[in-house]
Chains A and B, each alone.
Chain A
């Protein structure tokens, strides 16, 4: 009897000791691998629920399995690692009900938010019944089999406008046949607000730009301006920087017109990207250059001209973008945009309007600026300055047949199928992720999900975090 009592007493003592050891191995991750298996209905201290609630349905049980539908873009959640990890890998189980492109990524920077997105599924590519050639970590889809290998493709590439790219670099240098440098200056007389990206072509000439800008001091804080030039390999080759005008208040007292010169001689022939990094307080009022080819990529923020010139000057840009998006943030910025023979109305402020276009090269006129405009491909301030240095990017609305795309180059691998679900695994280097309030933020990018009336049904988000195996120093970290 006494022995039994002692045994029970020992068991009572061992229970908290066992719990401590169990908790310690969770905390210290001795193997260096920590796995969180997370169903959408589970509550977890490591993975939050999908949010915001307005973009997702509540988890529901379908045939004994908890699932959650994502209805709008983007949908995000936070991950709370209990200690440092070097990598984070996510295995996502989903069913795709018509979302053309599904991507998943981690937040890499805030203000503005930027994500390292990785593909989960690209239905546009998955549904192609084209010939495939694999190699060098890439897949080449060909409408008609012309190239037996990727080496053959890169050795004798087709014209850029026939190549679509998705998550891949088209490593074929762009060369403009018959291009001759000129010393004639051209001026872009339009107000551009904040950060922009431009591309220009250089051949036997000096890269020469003069930027005239004003610091409008509408927001608090310093407003430095940095202009960096990158070559075709993405390497910085020149930069200039200007400090704030000395007024960091938000008193709307604008600075005088300030000039910043970028002069980079001796550059080899090719396409160069200029990144104009500036806050929204900086309004580039005029850009003068001797370069003949100058285009803006991704978008432009045509600034208002209050405190510069009134009435504001109309702006004309040239583009062949198959889709345009625009929004104004002021009632005074409401206007009708003409693109070729079409008229698009920005009828209310703070609404991002989307317009489909024929995709033919045409001028677009903004009667009074004060519009953020996003386009696919380049846009120039004159027809003669326009050129297309990049292949066609595959978007949710891309129509290969209509756009004359005969080749698609991608690093994307379709998800595997298991028990009626798509399963895709994506890996992240946590050194690149923004770590705020002991959390990482991850998001599903589902462009045009609403426009397509589609939804993504998610069942499981399994996370695997890795770090170096346990060392005694970890006790103090």
Chain B
């Protein structure tokens, strides 16, 4: 039995939020206790799941309300996330480490602006 648009949107939205929150939580747990997740499987499977659910959700949405401040919160959080990752794995960058980490923080904002335009 095919699901209607509303049902799909509900499930996709749940999947998106759950997998995104799970990704952030497991990622932090893995930072707190290295190997807690990554020893068993890649923490990025939750990111992949949230992407897939996100795409599914976007396909079911006909109308949407633009909430710039919510977007900004996500962009800020994502910018922080990629900055931490860059800093943590950027030992080889030497003196450029600080600069690259700061620049990386703004990458989600730039991408978001490009998409909107």
Contacts and interface: CB of A to CB of B under 8 A. Distances in A.
Chain B residues touching A, majority SS: helix
Interface string B1-40: 0000001001100110011011001100100010111011
A171 interface: no
A465 to B, nearest CB: 14
Given A13-B18, A16-B22, A16-B26, A82 B39 contact: yes
Nearest to A17: B22
A26 B40 contact: yes
Contact of B14 (A9, A20, A23, A46): A9
Given A12-B18, A16-B46, A45 B11 contact: no
B74 to A, nearest CB: 20
A8 interface: yes
Interface in B42-71: 46
B18 A23 contact: no
Nearest to B53: A12
B54 to A, nearest CB: 14
B10 A9 contact: yes
Contacts of B37: 23
Given A12-B15, A16-B22, A45-B40, A5 B7 contact: yes
A27 interface: yes
A27 B40 CA distance: 10
A133 B26 CA distance: 59
A471 interface: no
Chain A residues touching B, majority SS: helix
Interface residues of A, number: 16
Interface residues of B, number: 19
Contacts of B19: 16
Contacts of B22: 16, 19
B14 A12 contact: yes
Interface in A337-386: none
Interface in A1-29: 1, 5, 8-9, 12-13, 15-16, 19-20, 23, 26-27
A29 to B, nearest CB: 13
A23 B22 CA distance: 13
A23 B11 contact: no
Interface in A214-250: none
B18 A5 contact: no
Nearest to B4: A1
Given A13-B18, A16-B26, A8 B11 contact: yes
B7 A27 contact: no
A16 B18 contact: yes
Given A5-B10, A82-B35, A23 B15 contact: no
Contacts of B36: 23, 27
B39 A45 contact: yes
Contacts of B40: 23, 26, 45
Contacts of A8: 11
A1 B25 CA distance: 31
Interface of B: 7, 10-11, 14-15, 18-19, 21-22, 25-26, 29, 33, 35-37, 39-40, 46
Interface of A: 1, 5, 8-9, 12-13, 15-16, 19-20, 23, 26-27, 45-46, 82
20 contacts: A1-B7, A9-B10, A9-B11, A9-B14, A12-B15, A12-B18, A13-B14, A15-B18, A16-B21, A16-B26, A19-B22, A20-B26, A23-B37, A26-B39, A26-B40, A27-B36, A45-B39, A46-B39, A82-B35, A82-B39
7 A-B pairs with the lowest CB-CB distances in the bound complex, closest first: A16-B22, A45-B39, A9-B14, A12-B18, A12-B14, A12-B15, A13-B18
